[in-house]
């Protein structure tokens, strides 16, 4: 990263910034950032953007493997809305089934399953006195499986997002895979659009199934991941696509 940022300094000739590296170099020149600070920003953003989205997509593909009826709905929607072409950001508003699958995946398996803060000054929270240096955590994983807000909270039911009445809104923090408050995720819209486009692309082009005999397990480091998940990916066979058995909903 340091090399790339320095290279950009060498090749960027005019005053207007064209890349993030140009902005960071300007901040370095003005003394607002050290070279290490500039590199750290890029690395932190790559980590925040890549690992979380990759984990969410891994959970999503696992869920679609377990729920062939939903997978079929995603594929039908892609066939109908895209008619064989690759999706772009402009297609996202039309891919409502796919978007609901993305949202339901982020509800059940929020990649940042635990969000932590360190107390800076003495305070009280819900009757608990807090001292500086203590750590406080809120878990989207727990909140998003709360039966007070979700019917059958552990079930994968993407339709719950499509059926939801605007007259019955969720409490503000009942769904918070992207955090909340002043440090909320900067990539929320980008990540949901990227996941919707990626899902439509993959499911319309490939058969993706969990490799027989493999059993993913929860990995709860910073990012919640389906550890040991391996998937078999093959082209769709030519000819009419097999329809799932009507009773094979496996919900």
Interface residue list for ligand HEM (CB under 6 A): 45, 48-49, 52-53, 56, 111-112, 115, 177-179, 183, 185-187, 190-191
Is the CB of 72 or the CB of 105 nearer to ligand HEM?
105
In this structure, what is the dihedral angle of CA atoms 146, 52, 65, 217, given to the nearest 10 degrees? -80
* Least distance from ligand HEM to the Cβ atom of residue 224, Å: 9
Closest C-alpha to 22, from 40, 34, 8, 11: 8
CB 62 within 8 A of CB 226: yes
Alpha carbon of 7 to those of 3, 25, 38, 197: distances in Å?
6, 11, 14, 32
CB 33 within 8 A of CB 5: no
* Least distance from ligand HEM to the Cβ atom of residue 222, Å: 10
d(CA 150, CA 155): 10
* Least distance from ligand HEM to the Cβ atom of residue 56, Å: 4
Is the CB of 46 or the CB of 250 nearer to ligand HEM?
46
* Least distance from ligand HEM to the Cβ atom of residue 165, Å: 26
Is the CB of 72 or the CB of 99 nearer to ligand HEM?
99
* Least distance from ligand HEM to the Cβ atom of residue 115, Å: 5
Closest C-alpha to 70, from 78, 110, 87: 78
Is the CB of 52 or the CB of 199 nearer to ligand HEM?
52
Cβ-closest position to ligand HEM:
187
Is the CB of 42 or the CB of 82 nearer to ligand HEM?
42
Q: Which H or E run contains 75?
A: helix 68-82
* Least distance from ligand HEM to the Cβ atom of residue 171, Å: 17
Is the CB of 39 or the CB of 53 nearer to ligand HEM?
53
Quick one: CA dihedral 223, 224, 227, 231, positive or negative? negative
């Amino acid at each position: 990263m340091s090399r790339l940022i320095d290279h950009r300094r060498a090749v960027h000739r005019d005053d207007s910034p064209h890349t993030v590296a140009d902005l960071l170099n300007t901040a370095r020149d003005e003394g607002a950032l050290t070279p290490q600070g500039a590199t750290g920003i890029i690395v932190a953003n790559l980590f925040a953007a890549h690992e979380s989205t990759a984990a969410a997509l891994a959970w999503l593909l696992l869920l679609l493997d377990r729920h062939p009826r939903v997978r079929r709905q995603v594929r039908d929607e892609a066939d109908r809305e895209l008619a064989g072409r690759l999706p772009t950001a402009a297609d996202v508003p039309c891919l409502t089934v796919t978007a609901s699958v993305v949202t339901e995946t982020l509800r059940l398996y929020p990649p940042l399953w635990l969000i932590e803060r360190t107390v800076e000054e003495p305070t009280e929270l819900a009757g608990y006195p807090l001292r500086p240096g203590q750590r406080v955590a809120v878990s989207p994983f727990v909140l998003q499986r709360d039966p007070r807000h979700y019917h059958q909270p552990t079930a994968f039911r993407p339709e719950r997002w499509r059926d939801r009445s605007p007259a019955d809104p969720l409490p503000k923090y009942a769904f918070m895979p992207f955090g909340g408050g002043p440090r909320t995720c900067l990539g929320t819209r980008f990540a949901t659009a990227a996941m919707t486009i990626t899902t439509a692309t993959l499911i319309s082009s490939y058969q993706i199934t969990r490799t027989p005999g493999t059993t993913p397990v929860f990995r709860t480091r910073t990012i919640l991941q389906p550890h040991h998940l391996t998937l078999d990916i093959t082209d769709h066979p030519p000819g009419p696509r097999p329809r799932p058995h009507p009773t094979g909903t496996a919900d």
